[in-house]
C-alpha cells in the first residue's frame, strides 16, 4: 500500500509498481488539507494499478521514471497477451514488404519508422494503440520544426509519415484480430502544387542567357518535360537518333541509378527539332567522356543540388526572371504543349502520366493566359453560327 512522506516540506508518494519501489515528490506542501487531498489521489492510483490501467506518466509527467515505467508496462502487456510491440511488428512488416519496393522507397520508409514512429509507439503492445493515440501523434507532427527558418512540416510531409503507420496498424489488426485504430482517418488536405511555368519568351531568354555549357541541358529539360532524376540519369544508350526518341527507363536518385518513378514513367519521348540538334551537339561534347549525356567535367553525373545552386537560381536572378524551382521546366513543357494544341493523350504519354486527368487538373488553367483565348473561341463559333443563320433567313425571305 502506498504511503505519504514528507521531505523539505513537500509531500512524497511512496509506492510499488511493476515490482519496483517508486518515490515521487509532489508539488503539495505538507499540510493536513494537502495530505487528505493526496490520500484521495492515492486511492485512485491503487485502484488503477489493480485494474491494470495505471498510467505512470499521467500522474507523474515530469518524473525521470515515467518513460521507464511506461516501457515496463508495455513489455508486460506484450508478454501477457502474446502480441508483439509496435517495434517488433514494424520490423517484421518491413522485412516482408521491402521486396516490393525499390531502394529509394525502402530508405524513405525506414527513415520514417526510425525517426518518427518508433520514438512514439516503439515499446507499446501494438493492439493497445488507440485512434486517439494516432490522432495525437499526427497533431504533434504539425508542431515539429526544421531548418534555420524553423519551418513546420507540410501537410504532404505529415501525410507521408502517416502512410506507413496506417499500413502497419492495418496489417497488425488483421493478424491479431483487433480493431484497426487507423480506420477512417483521412489524409490532411494538401494545397495544390505551386505551378509557375515560364512563357515561351522566358524560356528562350533563359536558354540564350544561361552558361554555354548548360545550354543544351536546359533546352532539353524545357522541351521534353523530363523529371530532374530522368535527365540527370539519361545515358547515351537511351538516346535513339534514328527514331528521334529519348527512352526513359531509369533515373538518378541520390547518386544511384534506379527504375523510373512509376510504371507509366517508362516511355519514349519524341525529340523536337531543337532537342535533336541540342543532343547532337552534346554528343560531340560528352559522348567519349562519359556514359551520361549530361555530366561534370570528370564524367560523373550532375549533382542537381549543386546545379540548382550554381546555375539555375543565379541565371534566373541575372535575367530578372521570377524565382522558382527547377521542376518548373517540366511544368513549362506541359503548358507549352497544351497551348500549342497538342493532343492531351499525347502530352500525357510524353510526361509519363497514366491518364489525362492530372494533366487537366494541374495545367489547364494556364492555357487561356498563353493562348489569349479566354472563351473567345466559343464566342467566335457562336458568331459564325449567327452569321450563317442570318444568311439562311435572308435567302428564305427572298
Q: Are residues 233 and 356 in the same domain?
A: yes
Residues 44 and 98 in one domain: no
Q: What is the DSSP string of 293-321?
A: SSB-TTSPBP-HHHHIIIIIHHHHHHTTP
Residues 32 and 96 in one domain: no
Residue 380: pLDDT above 90?
A: no
Angstrom distance (rounded) from CA 206 to CA 319? 7
Alpha helices in 177-310 (DSSP H): 200-209, 215-224, 228-232, 273-286, 304-307
At 338 the pLDDT is 87
| Cα distance between residue 23 and residue 3, in whole Å | 10
392 within some domain: no
What global pTM score does this model have? 0.65
β-sheet bridge partners, residue 55 = none
- Report the range of poorest mean pLDDT among 109-118, 274-283, 294-303, 352-361: 352-361
254 and 321 fall within a common domain? yes
- Asked if residue 114 and residue 206 are part of one domain, the reply reads no
Nearest-angstrom CA–CA distance, 326 and 128: 46
| Cβ-contact 22, 37 below 8 angstroms | no
Q: Cα angle at 358 between 357 and 364, to 5 degrees?
A: 90
pLDDT at 392 over 80: no
Across the range 38-50, mean pLDDT stands at 87
Q: Is the separation of the CB atoms in 335 and 370 below 8 Å?
A: yes
Domain containing residue 293: CATH number: 1.10.443.10
Do 118 and 42 fall within a single domain? Answer: no
Task: With respect to residue 336, please indicate whether it lies within any of the assigned structural domains.
Answer: yes
Expressed as residue numbers, the domain containing 26 is 3-81
- Domain assignment present for residue 356? The answer is yes
Residue 343 is assigned to a structural domain of this protein? yes
Q: Where a domain ends, among 61, 81, 101?
A: 81
In this structure, are 112 and 210 located in the same domain? no
Shared-domain flag, residues 223 and 322: yes
Mean pLDDT of 167-176: 95
For residues 307 and 226, state if they share a domain.
yes
Q: Of 322, 308, 320, 328, nearest to 195 (Cα)?
A: 328
Residues 337 and 210 in one domain: yes
Last residue of a domain, one of 49, 81, 113: 81
Same domain, 155 and 205: no
Indicate whether 258 pLDDT > 50: yes
Question: Is 339 part of any domain?
Answer: yes
Same domain, residue pair 65 and 170: no
pLDDT tens string 58-104: 888 888 777 777 666 666 655 555 788 899 999 999 999 999 988 88
Q: Are 233 and 252 in contact (CB under 8 A)?
A: yes
- At 374, the pLDDT band (50, 70, 90 cuts) reads very low
Structural domain count, the chain: 3
User: Which of 51, 53, 44, 71 has its CA nearest to residue 15?
Assistant: 44
Amino acid at each position: 500500500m502506498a504511503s505519504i512522506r514528507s521531505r523539505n516540506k513537500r509531500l512524497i508518494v511512496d509506492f510499488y509498481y511493476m515490482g519496483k519501489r517508486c518515490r515521487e515528490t509532489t508539488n503539495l506542501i505538507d499540510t493536513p488539507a494537502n495530505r487528505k487531498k493526496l490520500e484521495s489521489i492515492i486511492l485512485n492510483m491503487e485502484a488503477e494499478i489493480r485494474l491494470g490501467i495505471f498510467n505512470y506518466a499521467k500522474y507523474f509527467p515530469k518524473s525521470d521514471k515515467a518513460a521507464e515505467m511506461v516501457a515496463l508496462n508495455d513489455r508486460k502487456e506484450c508478454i501477457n497477451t502474446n502480441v508483439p510491440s509496435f517495434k517488433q511488428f514494424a520490423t517484421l512488416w518491413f522485412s516482408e514488404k521491402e521486396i516490393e519496393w525499390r531502394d529509394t522507397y525502402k530508405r524513405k520508409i525506414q527513415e520514417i519508422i526510425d525517426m518518427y514512429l518508433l520514438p512514439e509507439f516503439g515499446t507499446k503492445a501494438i493492439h493497445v494503440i488507440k485512434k486517439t493515440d494516432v490522432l495525437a501523434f499526427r497533431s504533434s507532427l504539425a508542431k515539429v520544426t526544421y531548418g534555420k527558418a524553423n519551418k513546420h512540416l507540410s501537410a504532404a510531409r505529415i501525410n507521408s509519415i502517416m502512410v506507413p503507420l496506417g499500413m502497419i496498424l492495418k496489417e497488425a489488426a488483421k493478424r491479431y484480430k483487433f480493431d484497426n485504430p487507423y480506420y477512417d482517418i483521412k489524409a490532411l488536405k494538401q494545397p495544390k502544387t505551386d505551378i509557375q511555368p515560364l512563357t515561351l519568351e522566358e524560356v528562350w531568354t533563359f536558354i540564350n542567357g544561361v552558361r554555354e555549357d548548360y545550354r543544351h541541358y536546359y533546352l532539353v529539360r524545357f522541351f521534353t518535360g523530363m523529371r530532374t532524376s530522368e535527365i540527370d540519369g539519361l545515358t547515351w544508350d537511351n538516346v535513339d537518333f534514328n527514331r528521334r526518341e529519348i527512352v526513359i527507363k531509369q533515373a538518378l536518385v541520390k547518386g544511384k541509378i534506379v527504375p523510373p518513378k512509376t510504371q507509366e514513367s517508362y516511355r519514349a519521348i519524341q525529340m523536337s527539332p531543337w532537342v535533336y540538334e541540342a543532343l547532337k551537339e552534346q554528343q560531340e561534347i560528352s559522348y567519349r567522356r562519359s556514359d551520361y549525356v549530361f555530366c561534370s567535367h570528370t564524367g560523373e553525373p550532375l549533382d542537381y543540388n549543386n546545379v540548382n545552386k550554381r546555375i539555375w537560381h543565379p541565371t534566373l536572378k541575372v535575367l530578372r526572371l521570377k524565382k522558382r524551382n527547377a521542376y518548373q521546366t517540366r511544368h513549362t513543357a506541359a503548358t507549352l504543349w497544351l497551348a500549342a494544341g497538342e493532343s492531351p493523350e499525347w502530352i500525357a504519354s510524353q510526361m509519363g502520366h497514366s491518364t489525362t486527368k492530372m494533366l487537366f487538373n494541374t495545367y489547364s488553367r494556364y492555357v487561356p493566359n498563353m493562348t489569349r483565348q479566354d472563351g473567345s473561341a466559343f464566342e467566335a463559333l457562336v458568331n459564325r453560327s449567327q452569321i450563317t443563320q442570318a444568311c439562311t433567313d435572308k435567302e428564305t425571305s427572298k
